[in-house]
Amino acid sequence: MKHVLMKAVVGCAAILFFCATGFAEDDYTLGLCVSQQHFDEMAEVVKELAFNGVQVNHVAPDKAASLEQSEFAAFEWTPDSPVARFLDGKLEQGDLDELQKEGGKRLIILPSPFVNGQEFIVWAGHTEEDAAAIRKAKRNSWWSLMCSWFVIPTDGLAPY
């Protein structure tokens, strides 16, 4: 009887947690908000995520706001992009100062930008080329984070 009661308590706690965060325990979905060209460049990443049961939704930068309630998302950010307006007030001033400089770029991880429990990856650059360069240069860092999000075994370098 104690065992059954304990299972019920644990089950209720899990339900309350996921109701409080608004995320389902088995929701393996990633919103990927990058240009079509950069999405195409990430075909191997998308393929590897899909192989591991992750649904990748390509979201055009002008539709970034549709990801406000997403648990996990990755964005390409430039100062004049729709993503910059969407994430207005979410980036640190030091990062913004660096990104205003010619050639400025940063890999930024945003914990809980809109909803508790969220985590966003931001490949930020002064230009689209700078943002793409940081995505490529820091692939091991963001790939490791994605692997932790979706419980993917990590063996070696990130795809592509």
In a domain, 13, yes or no: no
* Assigned domain for 6 exists: no
Q: Is residue 48 part of a domain?
A: yes
The pairing of strands 119-125 and 55-58 is unpaired
The verdict on residue 53 lying in a domain is yes
Q: Confirm whether 20 is domain-assigned.
A: no
**Domain CATH for 65:** 3.30.379
| Whether the Cβ atoms of residue 127 and residue 78 lie closer than 8 Å to each other | yes
Structural domain of 35: 26-150
State the total domains in the chain. Answer: 1
Question: pLDDT tens, position by position, for the chain (160 residues)?
Answer: 444 434 433 344 333 333 344 444 457 999 999 999 999 999 999 999 999 999 999 999 999 999 999 999 999 999 999 999 999 999 999 999 999 999 999 999 999 999 999 999 999 999 999 999 999 999 999 999 999 999 998 775 556 5
Residue 7 lies in a domain: no
Residue 19 lies in a domain: no
- In a domain? residue 94: yes
